Structure 1
């Protein structure tokens, strides 16, 4: 699941996933509250997400608020969540990791560097699942 309100970043992430050796189905939400609602409505018989990429700055709520809410919901407790953060430094990354993020990607990056980071993270978690 990609929770990102900036269309160019969504396209970049989807392009990275399309180049991986396995087929990846993505869902895009541009509002973190929708992601929380989706996780709360989850039925245990349904498949859930293998990875969440969550923007740290979303309309209506901060990425940290959404991260905390997602971590508290039953299905999202164990799903890897990668926070996409602005160039605000290591302090924010440490806070995000403390809130339960599995990793952080600082943006904006050059497209190739961004693609390389997203690819490595996706491959790592796909190999674990």
Structure 2
């Protein structure tokens, strides 16, 4: 796991957002959109499915759970649907909302994601301004309005 240069320390009192994204262009687009929004929560990045799953032992050891996981489906090492299945099967991570943020508009992917416990399914817009709007809505709902489960 690599942290972006603007990230606050991992053990910040603010709960983080975990972004699971392997595509460098999509990662850059997402990071720029959140920067433009002046996101207050730390943003952690996992660049493949295994890096995302590697957070579970850290959370078990006491690191704060994220407020929300933004999960791409098309990931190397461990596919996004398997990451989702693992997160939702684990009693520790089950309450953490998982928002699928992907380019896949396949009915099978949408149905699978929801049957595995995804809390939302959002198609990635390719236009930066539209992506900034999506980032704003994600931040507003999941970081400001939504009441997270206790850790």
Shorter-chain TM-score above 0.5: yes
**TM-score, normalization by structure 2:** 0.74
- Residues 9-65 of structure 1 deviation map (CA, whole Å, 9 limit, x = unaligned): 122222222233651211111111121121133246432211111110111222111
The number of residue pairs the alignment matches comes to 129
Task: Say yes or no: does 1:107 pair with 2:124.
Answer: yes
Counterpart residue number, 1:124 = 141
Q: Which moved more, 1:113-122 or 1:15-24?
A: 15-24
| Coordinate RMSD, CA, aligned | 2.0
From 49, 54, 67, the equivalent of 1:37 is: 54
List runs of 5+ in structure 2 lacking aligned partners.
1-17
**TM-score, normalization by structure 1:** 0.85
CA distance in 1, matches of 2:22, 2:97: 20
Q: Is the 8 A contact 2:33 2:131 kept in 1?
A: no
List runs of 5+ in structure 1 lacking aligned partners.
none
- Residues 56-90 of structure 1 deviation map (CA, whole Å, 9 limit, x = unaligned): 01112221111101112233211111112224334
Q: CA 1:63–1:22 in 2, change beyond 3 Å: closer, same or farther?
A: closer
**1:8-27 alignment runs, 5 A limit:** 8-20=25-37, 23-27=40-44
